């Protein structure tokens, strides 16, 4: 099969002039260009994205410089496109470009690369009748007067959104859709939630707050949904009433590198980085007794990120009694943390009475 190149017979720099190449998908009219070199990579990348969105994966693969790729690094690019989570696109706009080093592609390809850049495209789609903007980066290189384009990053084959959770384990939890990944939306599900779409987020940096007054206490899943309907649980949290902490004397975690996972008391079991609610002046045992083979430690810190009253353990891969801290709850306590792993951090709330 003959490789399809979007444009031929062009040379020169591609560092400027990409903004403004705007195309409505479904319009068969070719976009007007002034014939300048700057607009050519824009058009080439646009056709690549359209081919992927239209599920023309073999055609999309033909835009890549496979014939010059002796290492066969790009040989499976068509399969990557096929597995990609790319939604139905309503509009594509070249949003900007970043020059890349030609030398890198000269080493990787059996060809003399004349120019190279990373071109960013703003894509418009819709979710629940609302317009949503996405971005995709396309690599564009020029060989022998022809432009070749492919996408090596940005087509995520797992849903994989980034979700922030605040107040985990308390009577009110806030969920933030921090980064889309390949998810078109996230939503919350649990036994007391009849319609998860009542608790969904579709835009990055949107937030919602759930409280025990609204949905009751218990454990809840945050689910990411991909463009093809694929779903996966990406986070969990618990809603609890303060009185559930009244009789707690010992708090135990499992160390999992990405987070602390609650074990005891029962209402935080399985919850990532739960918020601890402690009563001022009471004594607690706080620590971890199970890990994943990596080195972990536990430190209790104040709002200035300083260790409080030497509440810190040594890093170890095999937890023992030394990883359990005896702690008196004071207003200084703000967070608990594993120093080697930044994701293992949770909040501490100290109250007058439980």
| pLDDT classification of 95: cutoffs 50, 70, 90 | confident
- Residue 139 zone, left/alpha/beta (φ > 0; ψ -120 to 50; rest): beta
Banded model confidence at residue 135, pLDDT cuts 50, 70, 90: confident
Nearest one of 275, 250, 281, 265 to 353, comparing CA atoms: 281
Q: What is the mean pLDDT of residues 99-121?
A: 84
Q: State the CB neighbour count (10 A cutoff) for residue 292.
A: 12
- Of the candidates 87, 178, 158, the one whose C-alpha atom is nearest the C-alpha of residue 127 is 87
pLDDT tens, position by position, 198-223? 999 998 899 999 999 999 888 899 99
The kind and range of the H/E element at 174 are strand 172-179
Q: How far is CA 344 from CA 255, 272, 279, 296, 298, in A?
A: 8, 9, 23, 9, 9
Q: Is the pLDDT of residue 254 over 50?
A: yes
DSSP 8-state assignment for residue 109: S
- Classified as helix, coil or strand, 285 is strand
Note the pTM of the prediction, 2 decimals: 0.55
Is the pLDDT score of 38 beyond 60?
no
Task: State how far the Cα of 288 lies from the Cα of 321, in Å rounded to an integer.
Answer: 9
Residue 122 or 88, more confident: 122
Average pLDDT over residues 330-336: 97
- Residue that wins the pLDDT comparison between 282 and 94: 282
pLDDT at position 86: 67
Q: What average pLDDT does the segment 246-263 reach?
A: 95
Q: DSSP labels for 184-243?
A: EEEEEE-TT-S-GGGGEE-STT-EEEEEHHHH-SEEEEEEEEETTS-EEEEEEEEE--GG
Q: What letters, b where the CB count within 10 A reaches 16 and e where it falls short, cover 202-212?
A: bebeeebebeb
Q: How large a percentage of the chain has pLDDT more than 70? A: 85
For residue 314, give every residue at least 6 positions away whose Cβ sits within 8 Å of its Cβ, in sequence order, or none. Answer: 297, 322
- DSSP string across 15-55: SS--TT-EEETT--SPPP--S-GGGHHHHHHHHHHHHHHTT
Contact partners, residue 36, CB within 8 Å, separation at least 6: 17
Asked which of 40-44, 86-90, 298-302, 319-323 is least confident by mean pLDDT, the reply is 86-90
User: pLDDT at position 31, please?
Assistant: 40
Q: For the CA atoms of 54, 56, 59, 65, what is the dihedral angle to 10 degrees?
A: 80
- pLDDT beyond 80 at 37: no
Name the residue among 336, 267, 331, 271 with its Cα closest to residue 300.
336
Q: Give residue 85's pLDDT band: very low, low, confident or very high (50, 70, 90).
A: low
> Which band of pLDDT confidence, cut at 50, 70 and 90, is reported for residue 294?
very high
- If you average pLDDT over residues 131-152, what whole number do you get? 86
The mean pLDDT of 4-22, rounded to a whole number, is 30
- Binning pLDDT at 50, 70 and 90, where does residue 117 land? confident
- Examine the pLDDT at 9 and tell me if it is beyond 50: no
Between 52-56, 105-109, 244-248, the lowest mean confidence (pLDDT) is in: 105-109
Domains of the chain listed by start with CATH number:
22-150 (3.10.450), 158-240 (2.60.40.10), 243-354 (2.60.40.420)
Cβ-Cβ contacts under 8 Å for 311 (sequence gap 6 or more): 299, 300, 325, 327
Q: How confident is the model at residue 154 (pLDDT cuts 50, 70, 90)?
A: low
SS3 14: coil
Collapsing DSSP to helix, strand or coil, 259 comes out as: coil
* pLDDT for residue 105: 82
Higher pLDDT, 153 or 304: 304
Tokens, residue 215: 């949905």
């Amino acid at each position: 099969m003959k490789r399809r190149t979007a444009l031929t017979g062009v040379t020169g720099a591609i560092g400027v002039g990409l903004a403004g190449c705007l195309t409505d998908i479904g319009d068969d009219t070719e976009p007007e260009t002034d014939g300048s070199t700057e607009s050519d990579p824009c058009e080439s990348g646009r056709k690549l994205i359209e081919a992927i969105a239209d599920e023309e994966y073999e055609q999309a693969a033909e835009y890549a410089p496979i014939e010059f790729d002796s290492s066969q690094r790009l040989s499976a690019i068509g399969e990557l496109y096929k597995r990609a989570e790319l939604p139905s696109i309503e509009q594509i706009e070249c949003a900007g470009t970043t020059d890349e080093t030609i030398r890198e592609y000269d080493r990787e390809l059996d060809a003399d690369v004349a120019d190279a850049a990373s071109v960013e495209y703003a894509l418009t789609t819709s979710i629940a009748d609302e317009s949503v903007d996405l971005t995709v980066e396309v690599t564009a290189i020029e060989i022998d007067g022809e432009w070749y384009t492919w996408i090596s990053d940005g087509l995520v084959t797992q849903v994989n959104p980034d979700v922030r959770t605040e107040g985990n384990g308390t009577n009110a939890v806030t969920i933030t859709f921090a980064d889309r990944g390949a998810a078109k939306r996230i939503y919350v599900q649990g036994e007391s939630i009849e319609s998860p779409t009542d608790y969904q987020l579709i835009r990055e940096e949107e937030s919602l707050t759930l409280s025990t007054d609204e949905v009751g206490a218990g454990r809840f899943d945050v689910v990411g949904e991909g463009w093809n309907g694929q779903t996966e649980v990406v986070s969990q949290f618990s809603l609890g009433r303060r009185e559930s902490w009244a009789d707690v004397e010992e708090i135990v975690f499992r160390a999992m590198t990405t987070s602390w996972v609650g074990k005891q008391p029962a209402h935080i079991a399985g919850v990532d980085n739960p918020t601890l609610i402690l009563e001022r002046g009471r004594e607690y045992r706080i620590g971890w007794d199970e890990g994943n083979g990596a080195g972990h430690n536990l430190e209790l810190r104040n709002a200035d990120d300083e260790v409080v009253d030497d509440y810190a353990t040594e890093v170890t891969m095999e937890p023992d009694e030394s990883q359990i801290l005896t702690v008196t709850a004071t207003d200084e306590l703000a967070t608990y943390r594993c120093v080697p792993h930044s994701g293992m951090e949770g909040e501490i709330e100290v109250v007058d009475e439980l």
